[in-house]
Amino acid sequence: TQLLEQSPQFLSIQEGENLTVYCNSSSVFSSLQWYRQEPGEGPVLLVTVVTGGEVKKLKRLTFQFGDARKDSSLHITAAQPGDTGLYLCAGKINAGGTSYGKLTFGQGTILTVHP
Partner 1 sequence: DVKVTQSSRYLVKRTGEKVFLECVQDMDHENMFWYRQDPGLGLRLIYFSYDVKMKEKGDIPEGYSVSREKKERFSLILESASTNQTSMYLCASRLVKTGTGDGYTFGSGTRLTVV
Nearer to partner 1, 44 or 78 (CB): 44
Q: Could you give the CA distance from residue 115 to residue 104 in angstroms, rounded to a whole number?
A: 33
CB 37 within 8 A of CB 85: yes
Nearer to partner 1, 43 or 66 (CB): 43
Site for partner 1 in 82-101 (CB under 8 A): 88, 90, 92, 94, 100-101
Residue (of 14, 55, 16) closest to 34 by Cα position: 55
Exactly one of 36, 108, 111, 113 binds partner 1 (CB under 8 A); that residue is 108
| DSSP sequence for 71-103 | EEEEEESS--GGG-EEEEEEEEE--GGG-TT--
Q: Which stretch binds partner 1 (CB under 8 A): 11-19, 42-50, 57-65, 75-83?
A: 42-50
Contact status: 43 vs partner 1 (CB under 8 A):
yes
Residues at the interface with partner 1 (CB under 8 A): 2, 9, 30-31, 33, 35, 40-45, 48, 50, 88, 90, 92, 94, 100-103, 105-108
